[in-house]
Amino acid sequence: MGRIILVSNRVADISKAAQAGGMAVALADTLRSREGLWFGWNGRISDRRSEQITTPDISHINNTTIATLPLSSREHEGYYTGYSNNVLWPVFHARLDIAQFESGHFERYLAVNRRFAQALHPLLKPDDTIWVHDYHLIPLALELRKLGVKNPIGFFLHIPVPPAQIFLAIPEHRELARGLAAYDLVGLQTKIDVGNLIDYLQDGAFGQILKDGRIRAFDREMAIASFPVGIDVEGFVGQRARQTRDRSPGIARIIGVDRLDYTKGLPQKFRAFSRFLAQNADYRGKVVLSQIAPPTRESVSAYADIRNELETLSGSINGRFGELDWVPIHYIHRSAPRRTLVDIYRSSRVGLVTPLRDGMNLVAKEYIAAQNPHDPGVLILSRFAGAAEQLKDALIVNPYDIDEMATAIKTALEMPLEERQEHYDSLIDGIKRQDTFMWCRSFLQALERLGRRGTLAVPR
């Protein structure tokens, strides 16, 4: 069996994958069972000379080779902040209003992808299978094909695909589509994403569906399918540090854990909790919303705006409803250690996961995995999280409908034990079945099967 080549913007420290969580665990596990190489940015920003570097730093952990490159500050600004985080992230989350289409950023984005391809190319062997991750690296396969690489190359997008009319608004959408067509397999989180990408390719007249379901675009054939990301249930729950002391007996906790990102619907969540308190005076003093929201991408201005909005909102809600011995919203703008998350989830009556749009959302799955099967809490989940396609037995809400969310909070807090167990049993079953290992295995099997069918023509 050939090697697996993983390519992602950042290379996770596989020796600490369990702490990093989620995807890093699955990928590290794949690399443990099979010889492999993980290639990407080393997280460092150095001077302009690094733009010439095409020889990566190499290190080894067991049977995995780690190959990394630095970015120059100009590349970081154009490729990472400018194009990946100020164009692709907002537009793919349907936020055209905050996308910043600035000239020069796409060129930097392409140039970094080209340099990555040049650096990866000499490290490749003919029977390697290449798996590229996420929106930072859409053009990578095309750049590798231009260098003559014929190996199977798969791509997995961790974020949603927007509806065609939104995708078409990206000035460089055609180049992105051409980039996607250089892969043999494009994996997406949900069936809705698959439908959106196929619609876009058809609306843009780039793609045509073949009889076997594959898509012909830009003189190549590719498959597009959904592979929902899962979690490592046992690995996650097994990290449980200790039973934490119940610091507020008699107070029910609602938990939220989200990077402080404008896609996560945090203001809507706070408003819904406020509405719930306004409508249910008898719950005041008896319930708290604990929101862990670690900082992320602080160099992007939209992230500073959402931080200010939340600080104002939590302050005003606490000022309006709080008592000397009770604060309704515990808002923590720091990262919690991973091993404490299991206990925090488990001791919370309600998991409140209300993104406005989310590729999957692993917090929803982690919350369920952490529950006590004999007395489980209730998950409230946005219909716009990819996870809603699988977790149909959660209380599904529209995060734009504050009244509906306030009502769901009450329903969740008052749900009888038997009903909670029914929801939990069905949810945990799906989460265990479609776990992170299945995600990895099924994607790689599909990619390697397609590779064997000889669909690897080089695009013009």
Answer yes or no: are the C-beta atoms of 320 and 282 closer than 8 Å.
no
307 binds ligand GDG (CB under 6 A): no
Burial 128-164 (b: 16+ CB within 10 A, else e): bbbbbbbbbbbbbbbbbbeeebebbbbbbbbbbbbeb
Options 25-33, 359-367, 407-415, 444-452: segment touching ligand GDG (CB under 6 A): 359-367
Q: Which of 95, 338, 383, 441 binds ligand GDG (CB under 6 A)?
A: 338
Answer yes or no: are the C-beta atoms of 160 and 358 closer than 8 Å.
yes
Rounded-to-integer distance, Cα 44 and Cα 171, Å:
29
Cβ distance to ligand GDG smaller for residue 37 or 229? 229
336 binds ligand GDG (CB under 6 A): yes
Is 158 a catalytic site residue? yes
Cβ distance to ligand GDG smaller for residue 70 or 377? 377
Is 330 a catalytic site residue? no
The terminus-to-terminus CA distance of the chain in angstroms comes to 30
The active-site residue out of 128, 134, 184, 358 is 358
Cβ distance to ligand GDG smaller for residue 64 or 361? 361
Binders in 58-117 for ligand GDG, by CB under 6 A = none
Q: Which of 248, 335, 372, 445 binds ligand GDG (CB under 6 A)?
A: 335
Q: Which of 64, 361, 382, 434 binds ligand GDG (CB under 6 A)?
A: 361
Rounded to the nearest whole angstrom, what is the least distance from the CB of residue 38 to ligand GDG in the complex?
17
What letter would DSSP give residue 402?
A: H
Rounded to the nearest whole angstrom, what is the least distance from the CB of residue 103 to ligand GDG in the complex?
27
What letter would DSSP give residue 134?
A: S
String marking each residue 140-179 x if it binds ligand GDG according to CB under 6 A: ------------------xx--------------------
Rounded-to-integer distance, Cα 234 and Cα 224, Å:
30
- Site size with ligand GDG, rule: CB under 6 A: 22
Q: Which tokens hold the place of 304?
A: 């500073």
Rounded to the nearest whole angstrom, what is the least distance from the CB of residue 285 to ligand GDG in the complex?
27
Rounded-to-integer distance, Cα 448 and Cα 307, Å:
44
Rounded to the nearest whole angstrom, what is the least distance from the CB of residue 428 to ligand GDG in the complex?
17
Residue whose pair of structure tokens reads 């610091």 in the numeric block: 247
Rounded to the nearest whole angstrom, what is the least distance from the CB of residue 315 to ligand GDG in the complex?
21
Q: Which of 26, 67, 186, 229 binds ligand GDG (CB under 6 A)?
A: 229
What letter would DSSP give residue 98?
A: G
Q: What are phi and psi of 208, to 5 degrees?
A: -140, 135
Length of the chain: 460
Rounded to the nearest whole angstrom, what is the least distance from the CB of residue 362 to ligand GDG in the complex?
3
Binders in 250-289 for ligand GDG, by CB under 6 A = 257, 259
Dihedral sign computed on CA atoms, order 76, 78, 81, 84? negative
193 binds ligand GDG (CB under 6 A): no
Q: Which of 4, 12, 23, 388 binds ligand GDG (CB under 6 A)?
A: 23
Which H or E element spans position 324? none
The DSSP-derived string for 3-70 is: -EEEEEEE---GGGHHHH-HHHHHHHHHHHHS-EEEEEEEEEEE-GGGGG--S-EEEEETTEEEEEEE
The active-site residue out of 93, 136, 158, 423 is 158
Q: Which of 341, 370, 381, 406 binds ligand GDG (CB under 6 A)?
A: 341
366 binds ligand GDG (CB under 6 A): yes
Nearest in space to 114 (alpha carbons), one of 84, 150, 142: 142
Rounded-to-integer distance, Cα 85 and Cα 98, Å:
11
> Active-site residue numbers?
158, 358
List residues near ligand GDG by CB under 6 A. 21-23, 158-159, 229, 257, 259, 292, 294, 335-338, 341, 358-363, 366
